[in-house]
Amino acid sequence: MWGHNRVKIHTTLIGFFAGILVMAFLLRPAHGAGLYADVLCYYEQGLHASTGYWTPENAVSPDGATKPSGVVSLGSWSDDPDHGQDYPVGLLVGFSASIANGTGADLFVHGNAFSNWFEPGFVEVARETSGVGATVDGWMDETFFLIRPSNYDALPNDPRQAPISMSYMSEHELGYADVFGDSEYMDLDWAIDDAGTFVVLPDIAYVRIRTVTDDAAGVFGYYTTDVDYVEGLNGTSQVPIPAAVWLLGAGLLSVMGIRSKDGCG
């Protein structure tokens, strides 16, 4: 009798905790729920950034919930000496509440590519190790990791080290900003360190984007990654299970406790 009851209670508990996990999962923000990068850390132009698209505020939303409008042009891989040399070239934005590394894709870095016109930018990410999320200068003491592009092994060099010819690029490679279609979805599990080794990132707060190439694009001038917005797909890193769920759980457990006592005679 005891053994039978214990198995029953055990099974009930497993079902109950499975239920909590399902509820916690359902309560997470849905993909595309509108968690946009909301902190502008810096914008350092590369050569040949497209005139008229030099407003980095176009790529962030101060309230984090409204999709920003317009694009900012990053210019080529190489520094533009006319536009300051303070930081590494590119755009660095942040999430004031760190975004989680959940199941599958976590990050969407959207440009303005269309079929047969893509201008890939490589993406680096960093955590905020001393707070809940990004601040304007909080990135300075953090380590950045490259989102490993799907054609990484075929590249002549790591994109962090030198510009790469567009001949190595195609619009459907994964892990780049401003490529076509769904290719801009990225998984934080793809992050690698300087040595090319995968790292485990439970969350990130900072996203830096830089054009991969210095190549010219004929009548269009030069390839320069354009950034429209940066979106987190799996919610913020702190996903508290609502108090109501815990209270419900405590109530169910106490009811089960009473029943098991009644049933063991």
Per DSSP, 202 falls in state S
Least distance in Å: CB of 228 to Ca ion? 9
- How far is the CA of 28 from the CAs of 25, 61, 123, 227, 230, in angstroms? 5, 21, 25, 27, 19
Q: Could you tell me which residues are beta bridge partners of residue 114?
A: 117
Decide if residue 171 touches Ca ion (CB under 5 A): no
Least distance in Å: CB of 154 to Ca ion? 22
What is the pattern of x (binds Ca ion, CB under 5 A) and - over residues 43-82? ----------------------------------------
Residue 241 main-chain phi, psi, to 5 deg: -75, 125
d(Cα 82, Cα 234) in Å, to the nearest integer? 39
Of residues 119, 203, 214, 228, which one binds Ca ion by CB under 5 A?
A: 119
Of residues 90, 94, 138, 163, which one binds Ca ion by CB under 5 A?
A: 138
What is the pattern of x (binds Ca ion, CB under 5 A) and - over residues 205-234? ---------------------x--------
- How far is the CA of 245 from the CAs of 16, 136, 160, in angstroms? 11, 36, 46
Least distance in Å: CB of 147 to Ca ion? 11
How many residues of this chain interact with Ca ion, rule: CB under 5 A?
Answer: 13
Decide if residue 112 touches Ca ion (CB under 5 A): yes
CB 169 within 8 A of CB 214: no
First to last CA, the chain: 9
Single-letter code of the amino acid located at 164: I
Give, as ranges, the residues between 178 and 207 that touch Ca ion (CB under 5 A). 178, 187-188
- The token duo for 111 is 């440009």
Of residues 116 and 161, the one with the C-beta less far from Ca ion: 116
Counting Cβ atoms within 10 Å, is residue 207 exposed (0-12), middle (13-18) or buried (19+)?
A: buried
Decide if residue 101 touches Ca ion (CB under 5 A): yes
Least distance in Å: CB of 130 to Ca ion? 5
The contact set with Ca ion (CB under 5 A) reads: 101, 106, 111-112, 119, 130, 138, 141-142, 178, 187-188, 226
